[in-house]
Each structure stands twice: as C-alpha cells, then as structure tokens.
Homo-oligomer: A and B are copies of this chain.
Amino acid sequence: MRIGELSRRSGVSVPTIKYYLREGLLPPGAPSGPNQADYDERHLYRLRLIRTFVDVGGLSIAAVGQVLSALDDETVEGHQLLGAAHRAIAPRSTAARDDRWQATRAEAAAFVAERGWHVSPDAPALDQLTDVLAAIRTLGFHELRAAAGTYADAAELVAERDLATVAARGESSGDDGEARALMMEAVVTGTVLGEAMLAALRRLAQENASARLNPGTDSDC
C-alpha cells in the first residue's frame, strides 16, 4: 500500500509516519518508483505498536526506539527477553546516587530477598522501587511502606499470570523465529499495557471500596 493508505488505516498522519521513518522506528517500504515506496501489513502493525507505546504507555519516542531495537534483536532470548524489555521501558531514575539512596537500595534488595524472589542485582525495577521507597521516607508516609507486602502479593498474582500470557502468545505460532518475536512483543506490550490496566483497575477498585465505606456521599446515586 502507499503511504496515504497506511496513514488512513493506522490513523497516523503522513508527516508523523515520515518522522518515524527518519528516526528508524519504522523500516523503509519497498521502493516502487521514484520517491515512492510500498508498505505492507507489518508496517501497519508496527505503527499501531508505536502508537500504543506512546498513547497508552506514555513512552517517549526515544524509549520507543529502544523498545523496538530490543524487539528486533534476535540474539536476545529466553529469560534475557524480560530484562531487555524492562531496561528499554524503565523510567529514568534521576535521584542522586548518594549514601542515603544506596542505603534505600539495599532496603529494596532486602525486601525482594525476603520474599524469596530471585532477581538480577542490577534489575532496573530495583532502582524504581528504591525511588519509591526514598519518596515514601522523605514524605514520612510510613503507612504506605507498611503496605508493601500486600503490594508484593498482588504483584506476584499478576506476574504469574503474565508469564502464562507470554507463553500462550508464543504457542500460538508453530514457527520458532515467529514464536520468539511474538513472545518478545508480548513481554513488552504486556508490561506497558498491563501496567496501565492494573493502574486503571486499582483506581476503580479504590472507588468501589471508598463507596462502600462512605455510602452517604456516593457520587452516582
């Protein structure tokens, strides 16, 4: 298809598609004449993937580029898939790595070890958890720190299911190379979309719990 049709079907404007082509997020189409190229379903799918990362996941174009490089890197396999995906989409931690931060990071690592979880000592999510624990301490919000165990229970519940989701996605293809691509993509999109889904459902569940506690002030009745 021509770029106009690609734009119509994806809902992404032609200038934006050209920008993604220049940035290397979208592979070039097959040349079909002077200044013309032909695009196929894979281009359409990748455009949808990019828009999902940007619109739902809130990723920057630079982060999307990293995610797509990880997806395209066929040397990354098995357990490494997850680490590569997480590194690509990890929020950049801007906290100063001072002694206090290092102490909080040790606290985060100890919390994870107490749960019996095996994670890489340089997992980017450990830095994320550290930033959260540091903020909780700075604000003196010890009631939230005390809830971390319940949060970890919920995280385990979801994570077990996530791994099953990724495996099911891979099994939907008979071809090894395609299965790898589908699983890698399921890790990345599952992490981004799953996070947004969990956040939305948590807010809805909070509203439900709050409505039960405050029956008189329910806003919808």
Interface-facing stretch out of A18-26, A27-35, A62-70, A134-142: A134-142
B contact residues around A211 at 8 Å (CB)? 79, 118-119
Number of interface residues of A (CB under 8 A): 95
**Contact in complex: B141, A189 (CB < 8 Å):** yes
B contact residues around A158 at 8 Å (CB)? 147, 150-151, 154, 202, 205
Given A77-B217, A154-B154, A202-B195, answer yes or no on A207-B119 (Cβ-Cβ < 8 Å): yes
Q: Which of B148, B186, B207 contacts A83 (CB 8 A)?
A: B207
**Contact in complex: A83, B219 (CB < 8 Å):** yes
A39-54 toward B: CB 8 Å interface, digit per residue (1/0)?
A: 0000001001100100
**Contact in complex: A155, B202 (CB < 8 Å):** yes
Q: Complex Cα distance A49/B216, Å?
A: 31
B contact residues around A75 at 8 Å (CB)? none
Q: Which of B119, B151, B213, B220 contacts A194 (CB 8 A)?
A: B151
Chain A residues with a Cβ under 8 A of chain B: 11, 45, 48-49, 52, 55-56, 58, 77-80, 82-83, 86, 91, 94-96, 112, 115, 117-121, 123-126, 128-129, 131-132, 135-136, 138-139, 141, 143-144, 146-148, 150-165, 167-169, 172, 186, 189-191, 193-214, 216-220
Show 5 residue pairs from A and B whose CB-CB distance is below 8 angstroms, ordered by the A residue. A80-B217, A143-B165, A154-B155, A154-B157, A156-B209
